[in-house]
């Protein structure tokens, strides 16, 4: 069931653990430094923040108009689709970014930092937008907001990447190939 999100969304979305320091730091950076630049050009822009265990710092970002902290969400896919462009403003932490794979699977456009997309076989401006500084990150969000066709292309490319590289079928096939080419020697 693939339903495309709105092509011209003025909404941004972050979904993740809201008590994890890299997420807290990234959200504070985004709200305090990036969001004002976005709102200067797109005054109706809104950031929706969802996830478990909102810290005091994350809860304090809620202002009821341009930043709304929802806390835990019942359906991550619907939350992502309902709130448009997914942001991944990470500057620390490690590991595969499951939040990006989930957003790709939901066919949502994404704007991420380089570290946020680390470990994934992605290309800037094809699968997602990548920016590491305030102005370029804001501009990437604005560009995706203003260009619905580009938002849809990003969402589709992300979905195709997940289907081709991260599906259960692909994982099982890779495991079978690995086991078949690396037999266990008798002991």
Helices in 19-147 by DSSP H: which ranges?
21-29, 35-41, 56-59, 76-82, 98-105, 134-146
The answer to whether 15 and 85 are in contact (CB under 8 A) is no
Residue-range domain boundaries for the chain: 11-181
CA–CA distance, 130 with 123 (Å, rounded to integer): 9
CA–CA distance, 90 with 183 (Å, rounded to integer): 40
Q: Going residue by residue through the chain (187 aa), what tens digit of pLDDT does each one get? A: 444 555 457 999 999 999 999 999 999 999 999 999 999 999 999 999 999 999 999 999 999 999 999 999 999 999 999 998 999 999 998 766 788 999 999 999 999 999 999 989 999 999 999 999 999 999 999 999 999 999 999 999 999 999 888 755 554 444 455 556 666 666 6
Whose CA is closest to 96, among 122, 132, 125?
Answer: 122
Mutual orientation of helices 148-165 and 98-105 as an angle, nearest 10°? 110
Q: Is 183 helix (H, G, I), strand (E, B) or coil?
A: coil
Could you tell me the pTM of the whole model? 0.85
Which CATH code, of 3.40.225.10, 1.10.510.10, 3.30.10.20, 3.40.50.2000, is assigned to 11-181? 3.40.50.2000
């Amino acid at each position: 069931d693939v339903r495309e999100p709105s092509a011209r969304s003025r909404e941004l979305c972050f979904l993740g653990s809201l008590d994890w320091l890299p997420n807290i730091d990234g959200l504070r950076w985004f709200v305090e430094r990036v969001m004002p630049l976005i709102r200067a050009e797109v005054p109706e822009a809104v950031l929706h923040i969802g996830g478990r265990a909102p810290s005091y710092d994350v809860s304090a970002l809620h202002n009821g108009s341009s930043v709304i902290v929802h806390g835990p969400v019942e359906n991550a896919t619907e939350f992502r689709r309902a709130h448009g462009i997914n942001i991944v403003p990470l500057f620390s932490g490690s590991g595969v970014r499951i939040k990006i794979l989930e957003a790709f699977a939901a066919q949502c456009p994404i704007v991420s930092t380089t570290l946020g997309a680390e470990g994934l076989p992605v290309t800037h401006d094809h699968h997602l937008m990548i920016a590491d500084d305030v102005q370029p990150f804001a501009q990437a969000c604005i560009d995706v907001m203003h260009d619905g066709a580009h938002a849809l292309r990003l969402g589709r490319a992300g979905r195709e990447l997940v289907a081709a590289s991260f599906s259960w079928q692909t994982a099982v096939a890779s495991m079978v190939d690995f086991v078949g080419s690396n037999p266990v020697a008798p002991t």
